[in-house]
Structure 1
Amino acid sequence: MVNRNYKDTIFRMLFSDRKNLLSLYNAINGTSYENPEELEIVTLENAIYMGMKNDLAFIIGTNLFLYEHQSTYTPNMPLRDLFYISAEYQKLVNKKSLYSSTLQKIPAPNFIVFYNGIEKTDERWENCLSEAYENLSGEPKLELKVVTLNINEGRNRELLEQCQTLREYAVYVAKVRKYAQYMELEAAVKKAVDECIQNGILKDFLQNKRAEVIAVSIFEYDKEEEERKLREAEFEAGELCGIQKGIQLRDREIAQSLMKKGMTVAEIADILEISENDVIKMRE
């Protein structure tokens, strides 16, 4: 059974492996680190937001990286990452005095989201915390920038070529989506897993964790579909609300114009096909 409150994503399962994570880091930064032990994993296992943990956090050199995976677009990642990075820094300086005369050094943060949803097709984009500020005047006093990379098959080709695990993950996701269009979800996931194993795509990973991968993939895809339907419903509700407000504004303008011409409340109500009380409210 899949834990509906929290379950590792396939992305997190793959890149919790230091070797895979180092390969991903090298591919993004154009570096050639070879020793996975140079990565200091600092992922906060108890940092939960909206039922989901932050995916991966690690330090290499003097930099701190927060990697997140998203299958649905959200412009709120900067705010979420602000919560995460605050918790990370609190943990890192926990035993140090912030009242001392010595400046406490902290690793410089980097925020990257790996996106494989279907709503956006851009290869790369950036979201800033300051976009959420109301009535911002001048330069923001606190800023946080999150870079999102589209890792769907066919996007960011150079990045996917540089990281074999990421490329094969993109292939696996594409297969699940393809088969889920005309098969029951569980059957689609199983077919994608079996086909990838046969073709040597994530072979060892899928063979060793087959049952868990199937369960998690069903959860991920189902969650993605639920969120997509929710957004569609929100859009339709907003669209309907906008239409209704437009009609109300139109009726008000017509009613006020007819009032100036001396027409009675009853006559206006009859023309607009609304109640006399509504006409009176428009007059007021």
Structure 2
Amino acid sequence: MSNETRNHKDNVFCLLYRNKKNLLSLYNAMNGTSYENEEELEVVTLEEAICMKIRNDAAFVVDSRLNLYEQQASVNPNMPLRDLYYVTEELKKIAPPGSLYTTAKVKIPAPHFVMFYNGVAKQPERQVYRLSELFSRKEEEPELELVVTVININPGCNRELLERCESLRGYMVFVKKARDKKAAGIKLENAVHQAVEECILEGILAEFFREHKKEIVEMGIFEFDQELHDKTLYEDGVAAGIERGIEQGIEQGIEQGIEQGIEQGIEQGIELVSRIFKAIQSGVTDNNVIAETCECTVDYVEMVRRKFSMEV
């Protein structure tokens, strides 16, 4: 089934935080709060599940805040636009259009947007995506803005947060186990199954993994297979985008390559290759100078030039 028509399947992160206790503990860890009453948390996650077009992983209201949490294993600078879709759908439920035609102010919860990143591409511990960064025209003071905080939860990143949240820490232990086994050559289904069994034996979210073992294995297979799919798209997209750029003019081609990469969710590496191409276009021929300018190794510059037949 193609990526366009395949139905989105609930993932392990969604399943884990479908539990109010886990979700409240994540909120507390994120905000330095100590809420204990799960009834104070109202889950409002969207139910649409087609290709992730109008769905978010965990949306909930607590303390007059509308929190939208999303887990991503790929770099996705389009999250602000996605979250704009999400929050619009939620606000329509909270304040139906008919309630807006009055003289009284309609009170709405304050939105907060977080993306938990656990992909294999190297990313900062924390970064911010802004809706205004997607505008085709730069605005000094954008009249519409949406800010997404991106938190890297891979091993070695944001240790304090993971220490404060047992469920998030356990989730990443499972992810790392499955990835390591897959990288060691174990068949994907077996890698996920073994990761689940090890977590149960080691007391890592044991009750959760024991109760949902079958679902988690099925979800895990889909998720890690999707990671491979995204990696392949990235590799194919970089080559196709830049090769098209060579044919149509380097500057135009790079822009098209980047746009194609953004559309397909395969951004990693395009920026660096773009800088190398621009350096060459400007007349720089010395690989050492290009490497220093682009902040990469000489070997990488030579590899790019060989791949795209741009040797001096």
Q: Same fold (TM over 0.5)?
A: yes
Distance 2:9 2:49 in 1: 14
Structure 2 equivalent of residue 73 of structure 1: 75
**How far off its partner does 1:46 sit?**
2.7
Counterpart selection for 2:123 from 121, 124, 132: 121
TM-score normalised to the size of structure 1? 0.82
Can you give the 5+ residue segments of structure 1 that lack an aligned partner in the other structure?
Answer: 248-284
Structure 1 equivalent of residue 204 of structure 2: 201
The residue type equivalent to 1:73 in the other structure is V
SS for the counterpart of 2:66 is strand
The residue type equivalent to 1:33 in the other structure is Y
**How far off its partner does 1:120 sit?**
2.8
Structure 2 equivalent of residue 211 of structure 1: 214
The residue type equivalent to 1:29 in the other structure is N
**How far off its partner does 1:43 sit?**
1.2
Distance 1:170 1:20 in 2: 14
Structure 1 equivalent of residue 132 of structure 2: 130
The residue type equivalent to 2:189 in the other structure is E
The residue type equivalent to 1:215 in the other structure is E
1:65–1:207 Cα change, 3 Å: same
Deviations 1:149-182 (A, max 9, x none): 1111221000000000100111100000000011
1:11–1:50 Cα change, 3 Å: closer
The residue type equivalent to 1:179 in the other structure is K
Q: Are 1:186 and 2:189 matched, yes or no?
A: yes
Distance 1:200 1:137 in 2: 51
TM-score normalised to the size of structure 2? 0.75
**How far off its partner does 1:146 sit?**
0.3
Alignment coverage as a number of residue pairs: 246
SS for the counterpart of 1:33 is coil
**How far off its partner does 1:50 sit?**
4.1
Distance 2:77 2:25 in 1: 27
Structure 2 equivalent of residue 278 of structure 1: none
Distance 2:233 2:139 in 1: 34
Counterpart selection for 2:85 from 80, 83, 99: 83
CA RMSD of aligned residues (A): 1.9
SS for the counterpart of 1:229 is helix
The residue type equivalent to 2:214 in the other structure is A
Q: Which has the larger displacement, 90-99 or 202-211?
A: 90-99
Distance 2:49 2:204 in 1: 32
1:231-270 aligned within 5 A: 231-245=234-248
1:162-173 aligned within 5 A: 162-173=164-175
Identical aligned residues as a percent: 50
SS for the counterpart of 1:80 is helix
Deviations 1:95-117 (A, max 9, x none): 75211110111111000011100
1:74–1:167 Cα change, 3 Å: same
Distance 2:224 2:97 in 1: 42
The residue type equivalent to 2:127 in the other structure is W
Q: Are 1:29 and 2:42 matched, yes or no?
A: no
The residue type equivalent to 1:151 in the other structure is I
